[in-house]
Amino acid sequence: MTTNKEKHELELAMFAGGCFWCMVTPFEQLPGIGGIVSGYAGGHLENPTYKEVKMGTTGHAEVVQISFDPEVFPYEKLLELFWQQIDPTDSGGQFQDRGSQYRTGIYYYNEKQRELAEASKVALAVSGRFDKPIVTEIEAAGVFYLAEDYHQDYHKKNPEHYKEDRKQSGRDEFIETKWTK
């Protein structure tokens, strides 16, 4: 559908928040989000497979790459929502998913994103919301490798398994405890 509104250039954002399946749904229905894909970033092996990344030896993290319209949904809002999906004090993974491949991270595409990410991390650290240090890494985006097709929109392709996995992970209880009270 065509509208009279001016089309804006989409930008990219990349976040690691543990299992990439759980990092898609919080962002996907928001205005200004052009798309979300699951993949791998931050490692040393070219074209890694899920099996290789899951072993924890490639250095990659499971990530989501989000295309967004900053005029409709600014990067600051993406950062705010990102922080509310993770335990930023856990350096060993996220919830039931353990290992460096499930670490948290913000991977910036430009200097403005880096500055905003750093400022948001500092603001969270001084907020008093967490008793432990914020360990989420902030690094340049680097190479993004698209995850296998069966991981894309996993929550839509396998809704029952996704719901059960998310329920068992403890993520929702953490979010409820840390962000909604």
Tokens of 62: 């499971």
Identify the CA nearest to 16 among candidates 118, 68, 111, 88. 88
Look up 22 and say whether it is catalytic: no
Cα gap 59→105, rounded to integer Å: 13
User: What are the CA-CA distances from residue 12 to residues 51, 73, 86, 115 (Å)?
Assistant: 26, 12, 20, 15
Catalytic residue among 13, 14, 19, 53: 19
Query: Residue 105: beta bridge partners?
Result: 16, 137
Active site residues: 19
